[in-house]
Structure formats: C-alpha cells, structure tokens
Amino acid sequence: MPISDLRAIETFTKAIELGSIRRAAAAQGVSPQAASQALAALEERLGVRLLHRTTRSIALTSEGHQFLEAAQPALAALERAADRIRSAKDEIAGPLRIVAPKYSFLPVLWPLVDEFCRRHPEVQPDVKLDDRIGNWVQDRTDVGFRIGSPPEDGLSVRRLFAMQLIVCAAPAYIATHGAPTSIEALASHRCSAFRHPGSGRVVPWLFKVDGEVVARDIFPTLSTNDAQLETEAVLSGQVIGMLPGLSAAGLIRAGRLVPLLVEHITDHMGVHVYYGSRTAQPSRVRAFIDLAVERLAGSSDYVLDARELAAATSKGRGKARRRS
C-alpha cells in the first residue's frame, strides 16, 4: 500500500474522531485543502464514497462505516509496532554486528567488546574478522574498523590513531645474526613476510625514505598469512619482521622485541572506525561507537614516539650484546 494511502486513512479516522476534516488536518499539520484532496484520492482508489460532507459537517456512508471498523484495529497495530521499535531503539540491547580486520586487530577489538558487554549484558555481539574488504550493506554492518584508507563513500568515518610499521627483531636474533643498519642490509638477513589472505601475494615492506613511502620486496625466510604466527616467529628469534604497531608496541615496551631502522618507520596508514548515519542508529550502536572513540581516538597504546623508539633500540641492542 502506498504511504499516501496510509496517510489518507489516518486523516479519515482522525476526521471521524474529531468530527471535522479541518480539525483532522490541523492535528496532522497539513492544510484543510490537502486533507480533503487526500480523502478524495482515497475514495477514488477504493471506488466508493466514505463520507457525506458539507461545509459544516461530515457523516459516514455505509461503506465508510465498514471501512472504519476494519481500518481502526490495523492502524492501532501499526502504532503499537512503531512504539515497540521506538522503545527498542532507545534500549542498549539486541544484536550488534561488528566487522574488523583479522590482521593483528584482535588485541585492539576484544578489550572493547569485553568492556561493552560488561556494561550492557543484553547486547549480543556478532563479530566478523576478515582482511578482505567487504560490502558494508551486504555484511549488515553496524560498526566497522579498517586499517589503511577509509571505506566507501556514504559512511561516516573517524580516524582513531596512526598505524606504524616497525621492523623488529628479538634480542636473541640480534645476538646471533646482528642487526641491519640500512634497508639494503636486509638482503643479508633472515626476514619474514606476510602473505595477503585474499590474493596470496607476499606483501612488500614499506619504509619512509626522504619523506616518501617506498615499497621494498623481501625474499622471505618465512612467510605466512597469519599475523600472530609471524609475530611468534619474530619473538622466537628465527627472523626479522615488519610488524604493525598493533602487535609490536606492547612487545617493544616489554623489551621482548627491538625496533630497527627506526628512521624509516612509516605511519601513513591509520585505523578507522566507520558506521552509518548516527541519526538512525539504535542506542546500542551509538554507545559502542562512543566507547571505541573514547578508548582509541588518539591512543598511544599502539604507537611509539621517537623517544620510546630510541630508548628501546639502545636497550635492546645492549641486551643482545650481553647475550652474545
């Protein structure tokens, strides 16, 4: 049924309730002329006359009386349904569809989901981790996260923090193999590489050189499509790896990894949260977005400043010399 018919039926029932088309029009915020035209168009589509009307009064026809008896329960049911939806929209409960990259993102995402569920136990998160770029509509996404460039147009996007790409090694690796002093020196070292899950291609390492981001192909001693496995391989001392700050920052601060070639660290990519129009969002979605922004916007948990990097490099190499 066209929405214009529903509005005309509302006008019809309101006119009977108030005894006047003019008063019904005022109650609905339309002009008397518009209300009369809507009723006339409804009668034309139904093929019957619903009202006897003069300039001063209205009265139901026999067909109008039958139509009113049938329409009032249906309109009341629609109003109850609308009230339920409005109430549900304001409740922090129900399903919450979250999409995020699998690549190194679990340590970032899980604390958010855990805190949110503790605050709002009636919410049911549905979390999809996938490094492939999906379709926001087809994935039925409420809130999404992305590393790199923002998602497609038509969505609201907020950059949360920069993502550093840091060449790292364990002290044990440096003690055994030494540390590269230049990008070119990496050719003589045991390096790991991340293999993109979607394309299967080995992802090149990215460096900042003279203010520009440049890509270098690495001939890996070890390659994998799993970020956690790559991190474990670097921690074991088997290889040098280029790890995201999402994985590496905490390990560097703990002294378990040493940052290398810090002058070439790039942070041109960012971590973004994206979502649809806030005006139409249920409260559970707005609340989760607010928590994500509160916890992650401008966060230094996954970003190392120049002072930290220099201190970690010096300390890590000292520890490696003591091992050797």
Return the structure tokens found at 131.
Answer: 């490094």
How many CB atoms are located within 10 Å of the residue 11 CB? 23
CATH class entry, domain 162-269+302-323: alpha beta
Q: Could you give the dihedral angle defined by the CA atoms of residues 75, 76, 77 and 81, in that order, rounded to the nearest 10 degrees?
A: 100
Across the range 274-291, mean pLDDT stands at: 85
The helix (H) or strand (E) run that includes residue 16 is helix 3-18
Place of tokens 């996954």: 302
pLDDT at 320: 62
Q: What is the pLDDT of residues 230-268, one digit of tens each?
A: 999 999 999 999 999 999 999 999 999 999 999 999 999
Q: State both tokens at 129.
A: 């981790």
Local structure of residue 260 (DSSP, 8 states): E
**CA angle 233-235-239, nearest 5°?**
50
0.75 exceeded by pTM: no
Q: What is residue 259's predicted lDDT score, i.e. its pLDDT?
A: 97
Query: What is the pLDDT, as a whole number, of residue 310?
Result: 92
d(CA 268, CA 22): 63
The pLDDT tens digits of the residues spanning 33-55 come to 888 888 888 788 888 887 887 66
CB 276 within 8 A of CB 217: no
Write out 180-201 in H/E/C secondary structure.
CCCCHHHHHCCEEEEECCCCCC
The answer to whether residues 282 and 204 touch, using CB atoms and an 8 Å cutoff, is no
Query: Could you give the CA distance from residue 214 to residue 7 in angstroms, rounded to a whole number?
Result: 61
Q: Does domain 3-90 have CATH number 3.40.50.300?
A: no
- Rounded to whole angstroms, the Cα distance separating 191 from 189 reads 6
Give the residue, 150 or 104, on which the prediction is more confident.
Answer: 104
Q: Please say if the pLDDT value at position 208 is more than 60.
A: yes
59 contact partners, CB below 8 Å, separation of at least 6: 51, 52, 53
107: tokens are 């340590």
| Cα torsion 263, 264, 268, 272: sign | negative
pLDDT > 70? residue 5: no
Break the chain into its structural domains and give their ranges. Answer: 3-90, 162-269+302-323
pLDDT interval class at 220 (50, 70, 90): very high
Residue 81: its pLDDT value, please?
60
pLDDT at residue 258 in the model: 96
